Chains A and B, each alone.
Chain A
Amino acid sequence: ETGVTQTPRHLVMGMTNKKSLKCEQHLGHNAMYWYKQSAKKPLELMFVYNFKEQTENNSVPSRFSPECPNSSHLFLHLHTLQPEDSALYLCASSQEGDRGPGNTIYFGEGSWLTVV
């Protein structure tokens, strides 16, 4: 069982739909992340949360709306998406503060999103 779980694993949605991706980490970490992985492109960081506070928004369109109610849960709310938003969305977590760049970021299994 992975320390970071994501649901749903697969999602198909229309451009006018509203849906959410959910992530939960069981590792006691204090930082959580959303990454986007499109075909033939490197992984792109979308959002970073440290201690529930958003510390980075990597110029992500407003049709993606993150929510971090506590340090164990992270959501990505989706609305009026475009077909080019179809991608694998990866959630991750890490324990920040002591080892600097040596803190390992652990990923979930990802949510495959298709926008039709």
Chain B
Amino acid sequence: AQKITQTQPGMFVQEKEAVTLDCTYDTSDPSYGLFWYKQPSSGEMIFLIYQGSYDQQNATEGRYSLNFQKARKSANLVISASQLGDSAMYFCAMREGGGYSTLTFGKGTMLLVSP
């Protein structure tokens, strides 16, 4: 079974609008971390935001926020006021358990921002 599911292969949004990228996860470990990364066409994987399983509040980093719904096992990324430079692939990823665990990635969502 997939541990990270991103159901949107592609999303379109107009500049200055908000967009939500979906992510659901599957784990039986009570301790886990959820991450979102951005990958432009150049290839670099850029860390955006982190949410821990025990965090009470949703994470925010500038225009990025994470809508964490633990009971639903979802961790959607919200980008407010989209910019042309936001066009990229976006990956949701998870680390489970104690230290030295590794990241499991979803298949990604391609976001295109139009003027």
Given known pairs A55-B100, A96-B99, A110-B45, the reply for A101 and B52 (CB within 8 Å) is yes
Which residues in B have their C-beta under 8 angstroms from that of A43? 45, 91, 103, 105
User: Which bracket fits the contact residues of A?
Assistant: 20 to 34
Which residues in A have their C-beta under 8 angstroms from that of B95? 101-103, 105
How many cross-chain pairs have Cβ atoms below 8 Å apart between A and B?
77
Chain B contributes a number of interface residues (CB within 8 A of A) equal to: 30
Given known pairs A88-B43, A104-B47, the reply for A31 and B100 (CB within 8 Å) is yes
Closest Cβ–Cβ distance, residue B4 to chain A (whole Å)? 8
CA distance A110 to B31 in the complex (A): 30
Q: Mind listing 22 A-B residue pairs with CB under 8 Å?
A: A42-B4, A42-B105, A42-B107, A45-B103, A88-B43, A90-B43, A90-B45, A97-B99, A98-B99, A100-B99, A101-B97, A101-B99, A102-B52, A104-B35, A105-B47, A106-B47, A107-B44, A107-B47, A109-B42, A109-B44, A110-B44, A112-B43
